[in-house]
Amino acid sequence: MPEDSIDHIDFDKLNEKAISQPLVSHIYTADPSAHYFDGKIYIYPSHDIESNIPFDDLGSHFAMEDYHVISVDSENGEATDHGVALHVKDVAWAEKQMWAPDAAHKNGKYYLYFPAKKADGIFQIGVAVSDSPTGPFTPEPEAIKGSYTIDPAVFEDEDGSYYMYFGGIWGGQLQKYRNNVYSSNNELPKPNEPALLPIVAKMTDDLLEFSEEPKEIKILDENGELLLEGDNDRRFFEASWMHKYNGKYYFSYSTGDTHFICYAIGDNPYGPFTYGGRILEPVVGWTSHHSICQVEDKFYLFYHDSSLSKGVTHLRSVKMVELEHQADGHIKTISPYSL
C-alpha cells in the first residue's frame, strides 16, 4: 500500500490484521539487516527521524543521522535497543543521510557497512569495526575504495568468502554510473532497454576493502533474457540481499516504485540469477526493504512498514515473520496484512 493509496486506511484495524507487529516502537526503524551471531538475532536498521525536509524522488526527506542495533532472542522474544552504535558526526568522510546498513562477523570482530553522502552530494559506502555485535563501532577514516551508491549487503559464503552487493536507482544514484564510473550525464535506460543491474564485489580478507573491481550481476527472465527497465514489477531498484538454501543462491531486492520484494535464483554468488517470484507484497508506505536470516532450521524475513506512524513514509518500523521455502525451491509469497 504505497503512500498514494493510504488516505482512507483504518490504521487501528490494519494493525490488528498485520501478520507481525513492530519489534520496537519507541523509535522508528527501517531497512533491517538481520544476522544470527552467537545464538542471538541482531538487527542493523536505519534510524528514521522527522527532518521536516520536503519530499522528493531522490529521498531527501530520509535524513537519518545514526544507527542503533536491535537484538532479539527469538521470533516472539522481546527486542532490546542497544542505543547509538554509530553517528554521522563520527565519520570523517560523511556529511549526511546514513541510509540502509548491513553487518558482518569474522574472527571475533564485527563490521558495520553503511552508505552516506559526502560533502559533494555523492554516496559512498563505509565500514566501521567493533569487538561487540552491538557496537559502538569505530569507522575507518575513508570510504571503501571503489564503492558507490547505496544499500550494502555483505554475504558470507560457506567457503569463508565475503561478498558485498550494493546499488540503488533514483536517490541511490546508480543511474549515474556505467562500468563503475560516475557521470552526471548518465540517466536511466529507456523502458525497452535492459534495466540497470545491482553490483557485487568480493571483499578482502580483513573485510575493509574490495579485492576486485565491482561487477554487475545479471537478473534474467524465464527466457534467459535480461529484465527490461520498463518491467517495473520485476526489475531491480534497490535493497540487495543474498541468502543460500539447498545449495542455491537467492538474490532478493526491492522493485521500488512498484513496492514488491522479489527474488532470483542462481548457482554462484556472481549469478546470473533467474527471476523466481515475489517474497513480499506491498506494505504501507512507499519503500520496501528487507533481509532474510537463518536461525537454526528456520528462515525469517525482516522488513518494515509505516503503519505505526499511520502512513508517514519516512517514519517506518521493523517487523519479522517466518519465511517458507517450498518443495520446488521457490519462496512462498507473504501478504503483510490478512485483509
31 is catalytic: yes
Tell me the C-alpha distance between 24 and 81, whole Å.
8
> Catalytic pick from 102, 229, 238, 305?
238
Beta carbons of 292 and 332 less than 8 angstroms apart: no
Strands of 153-156's sheet in order across: 153-156, 162-166, 199-202, 215-216
The residue with cell 532474510 is 292
> Catalytic pick from 10, 31, 140, 267?
31
Q: Would the CA dihedral through 13, 14, 15, 16 be positive or negative?
A: positive
Residues contacting 111, CB < 8 A, separation 6+: 103, 104, 105, 127, 128, 129, 154, 207, 208
Angstrom CA distances, 225 to 199, 219, 273, stand at 18, 8, 11
User: How many CB atoms neighbour CB 83 within 10 A?
Assistant: 11
- Active site residue ranges: 31, 238
